Structure 1
């Protein structure tokens, strides 16, 4: 595990974008696992800038997103499909047919999860998986539980997750209560993992992830068992974990 402690969100974002850019340059047909939420937005801004300048080529890149709310239309401003188009896809030269996100509109939960797992396998797996971390240690939408879920599944969102995400909606009541997410097993099968953390509200989660027991009660803690994990976190997020 490689850990980089940086000054702030800006430095975290630039370093993360640089790592993703190197992956895309070294392997132009890479499969990138992408994340949503406020954490990766800064990194996506750098990737957009470099793509618009012509120094970064996404024409052969394939992408798979971690998750999507269940029961939300693609056209909704709060869907992760909309988020990815607004923050990245519409500004780089990635082919639309090479971008994949779980279908939140389908009602057949088993079919959505089965099809997404089959898609990832067909693509040859994820080369670099980008992750944020929730205040409760969740990665993707894998909430604290009694076991590590293996494959893509539909999850009931924890109240802390709903509270954290309500800023993207009119109110907490508007936040979907379920979401599709890659499982822990799928995430751990990625060849490389890049975890980002910023802000003092992530300090406890980072401490438990890096210094506590490996347990499904802190889903991100399992990353310590992966062969190639890079963590980039700012000083506020690492206030409790230090350099361990």
Structure 2
């Protein structure tokens, strides 16, 4: 695992975008997974600028969604797909056929997980997997206790995730389950990147990266990844 600490969020975002862009420039047909949420917004802004300025070409990439709230569809405000559409897919002019995302409204959620697993297996793993970390150590919707070898699956959300997740919605929204890529995908990705910013993340990062790896702290899987990259700003990395 390589750890990089940057002075501020803007510098962090630019650095992550550069790492992702460099990989894609070397492998234009990359299979890419980008996390939704507030943390990677700066990365998306940088990538969109690069795409519009013709410094980055993602026209041959395939994009895979990281996770989705069960019960929400792509048109629902606060859904992971809606956030990705608004912050990256639409501004970057990503074609619909380039995008493979979980359907949180699917009647057969297990089939949805298997569909995405099959896509990733066909590509022999993800090329790039950009993830954040929750304050309880979760990655995507892999809550504490999730086995490190778990593929895409339906997850029962921790109470902390249900509470923190309300920040994405304009009104109280019932959140019980999610459908998510698994920690196996993090381990098998050719370029797994963990990004974090802000003081609220420094305590969990200290545990996840300082204590022995444990399934009780999903983010600690990065300690086992020689090729993994952890990129944080000074506030998040204060305790490292």
Q: 1:184 matched to which residue of 2?
A: 183
Give ranges in structure 1 of 5+ residues lacking alignment: none
CA contact (8 A) 2:2 2:226 kept: no
1:55-204 equivalences in 2 (<5 Å) = 55-145=55-145, 147-148=147-148, 150-171=150-171, 173-204=172-203
CA contact (8 A) 1:70 1:178 kept: yes
Taking structure 1 as the reference length, the TM-score comes to: 0.94
Whole-Å separation in 2 of the counterparts to 1:164 and 1:130: 20
**Deviation per CA, 1:194-219, whole angstroms, max 9, x where unpaired?**
11010111011110111012111110
SS at match of 1:58: coil
Taking structure 2 as the reference length, the TM-score comes to: 0.95
Whole-Å separation in 1 of the counterparts to 2:71 and 2:42: 28
Give ranges in structure 2 of 5+ residues lacking alignment: none
Whole-Å separation in 2 of the counterparts to 1:115 and 1:46: 31
CA separation of 1:60 and 1:209: change in aligned 2, threshold 3 A: same
Whole-Å separation in 1 of the counterparts to 2:66 and 2:221: 17
Q: 2:7 matched to which residue of 1?
A: 7
Aligned-pair Cα RMSD in Å: 1.4
CA contact (8 A) 1:71 1:105 kept: yes
Runs of 4+ that moved beyond 6 A: none
Q: 1:230 matched to which residue of 2?
A: 229
Q: 1:20 matched to which residue of 2?
A: 20
CA displacement at 1:2 relative to structure 2? 1.4
SS at match of 1:130: strand
Whole-Å separation in 2 of the counterparts to 1:126 and 1:163: 30
Matched, 1:40 2:33: no
CA separation of 1:120 and 1:197: change in aligned 2, threshold 3 A: same
Aligned length: 240
CA displacement at 1:148 relative to structure 2? 3.2
